[in-house]
Amino acid sequence: MFDQEAKACWIVGVDVGGTFTDFAARNVKTGQLVVHKRPSTPADPSEAILTGFSELLAKVGVSGSDVGRLAHGTTVATNALLQRKGAEVGVVTTQGFRDLLEIGRQVRPLIYDLQADAPPPLAERRNRIEVAERVGPAGEVITELTDAGIEDMLNRIAELDGIQSLAVCLLFSFINPEHEQRIAAAIRQVRPDLYVSISSEVQPEFREFERFSTALINAFLQPEVSRYMDRLQASINAAAPNARLGIFQSAGGLMSVERAAQFPVRTALSGPAAGAVGAAASGAASNVGNIITLDIGGTSTDVCLIRDGRTEITHIREIAGFRIRLPMVDIHTVGAGGGSIARLGKDGLMKVGPESAGAVPGPACYGKSGTEPTVTDANVFLGRLPLSLAGGGLMIDAGKAEAVIRGIADKLGVSPVKAALGIAGIATSNMTRAIRAVSTERGHDPRDFTLMPFGGAGGLHAADVAQSLAISKILIPRAPGILCADGLLEAELQENFVASCRTPLEAGADLIAVAAGNLMQDARLWLAAEAEGTADTRVVLTLDMRYIGQNYELSVEVAGDPRDVAALREAFLGAHRRAYGHADPDAPIEVVNVRAKALASLLQGRNDVLGPLELAAPVAVSQVWFDEDAPVDTPIYERGGLPVGTALQGPVIISQFDSTTVVPPHATIRVDEALNLIMEIGHA
């Protein structure tokens, strides 16, 4: 429960990344914003959180009791899935469906690679148990689940060695969950030491493979994430006794720690989703609604398309080859970040990423025993990155950057400048492909959008990426390096509800209305229980719709009466035109799912927009390579010394605590009323 009437006046967002753990703190009364960074601790992310939180409090000059809310974007679930470091997990399923998780869909991981295999299931075949039961497509019981069948199942579970968690995945349980509930109750009674996830709770929708896969992933993650949440909750209670701890979920809102421990699969894209929320808020401050985000961290780049100030939502996603079906902010990720390693492939050509130096050992220029050239080393060698980062907390060793760049240049037989420009150029190409995946490949012209770079390295590559896509306008938010943490301050409390309701649109108005009414009631009950004390609550109703015979659905928001078939048809046709460029007004349409999203606005406050009164002089002049011809004298300005209305002609470098922005010679940059930077790119 989140109570807005708490006396504490500070709210804190903390986002754990592969290289840095970022903090944003806002005084909801005065608007004061304070940011902080410290290196991540991959072995135990909570270590960096607690140390950084203590440093942040000292920086602000307040005590932990002054913090009323702490919102956390976590990568624990993502990393466990990527590294397959979760629980030893078992599956209980309907007789005859033991191998469904292995069969999957008829889709190859790489369409042109006949040797690439899909990853093996998270549960080994010997840990997948069949039970004699069967529910039909209308929810009718075809084969009754007997007490003897449950007893036999429990005996076989007892024979499994070392399992920590179980996923219960039965056919058509999303319509009739009774058998799953009986099995789960029996397991919990006999084996209280086991974590149990049932598919009718984790993801109650049709398509059995996706439902089974999502439930299994949840079971795989539950022990590790639950232990992490327990440790973090206890530590935060001690450090900030008045703070409510909220966990950011992939759908774009906060949930309770208890909910995150119960459904850890919902946090699979926690951090990147927070960045999209922060980007939408920053864009709104500058009256920019159509945005393509470019979140460049140490390990990867995340991109997202925001239209009219709203993030796109997808309901299916693959992470590390495993399919998840849940509402998620539609983010595309590529292995291109500041720590991406440049190596020569077997063909003698240079490749950049997806391997990353991460936080340990980090790029060579960090002086932490890194020995391979990275994108960050290339930027240092090219003069684009200052030699002091994170407010002096990280000093750059330019000599080590030069050594590793010269090493790969010698192997290529080119000059170090050409090698460094090549590393940066390949990284830019990888990022550009990611943006095309969420824009041109879905019918959106990137030239109609503003590029918003953030993350520690976003501003270093934004101009190059914009140039390659013919984007003319770039918006750099006030604190780009910690925008994911800042987005956590903007987050609302959120819960999603879904009910399968497959029916033809024209004949199913009553069925749709009944399902919508039940979900709206569930959403309001949840808001009454979980969002007590919040001033603004609402429920958003959507329908998953498609033409009869289509494989996939489009989500259509219901603006009025769910019985208004004509309005629903027009809304679907509009969504279909946006997604595919055409729509057939006469073809029959069906509804597949009804969804309700409960939202509660939390106390957020607003950042102050008081900048300096006069433009400060450049702090230094750097020799920067923008091409192979010659380096260019480039002034370096501190962003804190740029008042509203400042306009500068490139080349310029703008440095700040959390990020660095490179303005090339063919661009201009100005400071707007919201203290955001607006860069205009001149295209030939």
CATH number of the domain encompassing residue 569: 3.30.1490
Claim to verify: residue 56 and residue 90 sit in the same structural domain: no
CATH number of the domain encompassing residue 62: 3.30.420.40
At 458-484, the pLDDT tens digits run 999 999 999 999 999 999 999 898 899
Cβ–Cβ contacts within 10 Å for residue 409, how many? 21
Claim to verify: residue 200 and residue 234 sit in the same structural domain: no
Domain that holds residue 549: 493-601
What percent of the chain stands above pLDDT 70?
A: 97
Residue 455 falls in which region: left (phi positive, over 0), alpha (psi -120 to 50) or beta: left
Beta bridge partners of 89: 165
Furthest-apart CA pair in the chain: how many Å? 82
Please give the tally of structural domains in the chain: 4
pLDDT of 4 > 70? The answer is no
Residue 392 — very low, low, confident or very high, per pLDDT cuts 50/70/90? low
**Could you identify the residue written with the tokens 């504490």?**
8
Determine if the peptide bond prior to 327 is cis (ω within 30°): no
190 occurs within a structural domain: yes
What does the DSSP 8-state code read for residue 374? B
Is there a contact between 595 and 519 (Cβ–Cβ < 8 Å)? Answer: yes
Is there a contact between 286 and 675 (Cβ–Cβ < 8 Å)? Answer: no
Cα separation of 481 and 421, whole Å? 23
Is there a contact between 212 and 104 (Cβ–Cβ < 8 Å)? Answer: no
- Of 167, 195, 221, the position where a domain reaches its end is 221
What string of H, E and C letters represents the secondary structure of 533-569?
A: CCCEEEEEEEEEEEECCCCCCEEEECCCCCCCHHHHH
Determine the pLDDT at residue 466. Answer: 96
Dihedral angle sign, alpha carbons of residues 466, 667, 419, 366: negative
Cα 55 to its chain centre, rounded Å, is 26
Claim to verify: residue 534 and residue 564 sit in the same structural domain: yes
pLDDT of 390 > 60? The answer is no
Dihedral angle, C-alpha 543, 548, 551, 555, nearest 10 °: -20
Dihedral angle sign, alpha carbons of residues 235, 237, 241, 243: positive
Q: Are strands 254-256 and 291-296 parallel, antiparallel or unpaired?
A: unpaired
Claim to verify: residue 498 and residue 590 sit in the same structural domain: yes
Residue 2 — very low, low, confident or very high, per pLDDT cuts 50/70/90? very low
pLDDT of 254 > 80? The answer is yes
Sheet with 20-27, side-by-side order of all strands: 33-39, 20-27, 10-16, 67-73, 244-248, 254-256, 493-504, 589-601, 536-547, 554-557
Determine the pLDDT at residue 583. Answer: 93
At 631-646, the pLDDT tens digits run 999 999 999 999 999 9
Q: Which of 92-96, 119-123, 125-129 has the lowest mean pLDDT?
A: 119-123
627 occurs within a structural domain: yes
pLDDT of 266 > 80? The answer is yes
Dihedral angle sign, alpha carbons of residues 439, 440, 446, 449: negative
Is there a contact between 225 and 80 (Cβ–Cβ < 8 Å)? Answer: yes
Claim to verify: residue 121 and residue 215 sit in the same structural domain: yes
444 occurs within a structural domain: no
pLDDT of 534 > 80? The answer is no
What percent of the chain stands above pLDDT 90?
A: 68
At 131-188, the pLDDT tens digits run 999 999 999 999 999 999 999 999 999 999 899 999 999 999 999 999 999 999 999 9
Residue 113 — very low, low, confident or very high, per pLDDT cuts 50/70/90? confident
Q: Where are the alpha helices (DSSP H) in 88-207?
A: 100-103, 147-158, 178-190, 199-202
Claim to verify: residue 95 and residue 214 sit in the same structural domain: yes
Cα separation of 175 and 135, whole Å? 9
> What is the DSSP track for 188-215?
HHH-TTSEEEEHHHH--SS-HHHHHHHH
Claim to verify: residue 597 and residue 650 sit in the same structural domain: no
Determine the pLDDT at residue 393. Answer: 59
26 occurs within a structural domain: yes
Claim to verify: residue 161 and residue 246 sit in the same structural domain: no
624 occurs within a structural domain: yes
**Could you identify the residue written with the tokens 């991981």?**
109
Determine the pLDDT at residue 7. Answer: 59
Is there a contact between 21 and 46 (Cβ–Cβ < 8 Å)? Answer: no
Q: Which of 150-154, 295-299, 451-455 has the lowest mean pLDDT?
A: 295-299
At 190-247, the pLDDT tens digits run 999 999 999 999 999 989 999 999 999 999 999 999 999 999 999 999 999 999 999 9
pLDDT of 1 > 50? The answer is no
Claim to verify: residue 212 and residue 125 sit in the same structural domain: yes
Cα 221 to its chain centre, rounded Å, is 17
Claim to verify: residue 95 and residue 216 sit in the same structural domain: yes
Cα separation of 578 and 588, whole Å? 19
Residue 390 falls in which region: left (phi positive, over 0), alpha (psi -120 to 50) or beta: left
Nearest to 52 by CA among 4, 27, 90, 15: 15
Claim to verify: residue 97 and residue 165 sit in the same structural domain: yes
652 occurs within a structural domain: yes
Claim to verify: residue 66 and residue 91 sit in the same structural domain: no
At 544-596, the pLDDT tens digits run 999 999 988 999 999 889 999 999 999 999 999 988 889 999 999 999 999 99
Cα separation of 565 and 530, whole Å? 33
Distance in angstroms between the alpha carbons of the first and the last residue of the chain: 55
Cα separation of 589 and 596, whole Å? 21
Is there a contact between 381 and 416 (Cβ–Cβ < 8 Å)? Answer: yes
Using a 10 angstrom Cβ sphere, with 0-12 exposed, 13-18 middle and 19 or more buried, the burial of residue 481 is buried
Determine the pLDDT at residue 3. Answer: 46
389 occurs within a structural domain: no
Q: Which of 36-50, 131-145, 418-432 has the lowest mean pLDDT?
A: 36-50
Whole-prediction pTM: 0.88
CATH number of the domain encompassing residue 175: 3.40.1360
Cβ–Cβ contacts within 10 Å for residue 181, how many? 15
Coil, helix or strand at residue 341 = strand
90 occurs within a structural domain: yes
Is there a contact between 71 and 602 (Cβ–Cβ < 8 Å)? Answer: no
Residue 391 — very low, low, confident or very high, per pLDDT cuts 50/70/90? low
Determine the pLDDT at residue 106. Answer: 78
